[in-house]
Amino acid sequence: MAAFEHSAQLPRHVAIIMDGNGRWAEQRGKFRVSGHKAGVKSVRVAVSFAHQLKLDALTLFAFSSENWRRPEEEVSALMSLFIAVLGSEVKKLHRNNIRLKVIGDWSDFSAHLQRKIADAEALTANNSGLTLNIAANYGGRWDITQACRRAAKQVASGKLDAADINEDYLNGLMNMADLAPVDLLIRTGGEQRISNFLLWQLAYAELHFTPVLWPDFDDTAFSEAIAAFVGRERRFGCTGEQIRALLVKGEE
């Protein structure tokens, strides 16, 4: 932790695909839901770590729009766990000045879960510390599609000229438009793909894949991902010489 506290090159926004809960449970001869429950501990660790580093935002992929295809009993258990975690954790987040947002399509959730989400967001809405985004029933293609639909409605109503639609305009219609783009994506569990997560927001993100299963993801694993990020040169289409010149100029 100490090695990062004063680094000017820390990521502002970190996103994590929390993969490996089921395999963690299976390796121990347990039901998959046991892995999801164990993963809640790692969520607490990651949020605490991000909070201590004073990151702007942490986005966690909790439930994708494709996860509805999983066995019904597992989906039901995940929904119940989501409700339970909201009930047990939101006050702690609020005490630590953390703002909670749930990004994704809420419409498929039960009315009870939708109320829980709305109440949690309302309680923490004015907090100015870390923004914690939980991606639930979320898909990157869905996010882009809903932004395009909103733009199309503006054009159809005559409030917007199609020629005025550009990247900045569409970005303003995306989830998390008020936050910095994702700087670092971490995926646990050994897989090396982004699985329809934040397709727009990851355009220039650095990618870090770790074999650590999510329930075992701790401060050490998070530190390794941050260290890997800090050690990289981000060019954004420029040459290395241009980036280094800008850094030197910024230090003057």
CA distance to 41, 48, 100, 129, 134, per residue, from 96 (Å): 17, 9, 11, 8, 17
Alpha carbon distance, N-terminus to C-terminus of the chain: 28
> 34 near 206, Cβ under 8 Å?
no
Active-site residue, selected from the candidate residues 56, 67, 96, 196: 67
The verdict on whether 133 is a catalytic residue reads no
Q: Map 90-137 to HEC letters.
A: HHHHHHCCCEEEEECCHHHCCHHHHHHHHHHHHHHCCCCCCEEEEEEE
Residue 232 CB neighbour total at 10 angstroms: 11
CA distance to 16, 61, 118, per residue, from 170 (Å): 24, 22, 25
The verdict on whether 19 is a catalytic residue reads yes
Active-site residue, selected from the candidate residues 19, 143, 183, 216: 19
The neighbouring-strand residues paired with 138 are: 64
User: Which residue's structure tokens are 């090159």?
Assistant: 9
Q: Which residues are catalytic?
A: 19, 67
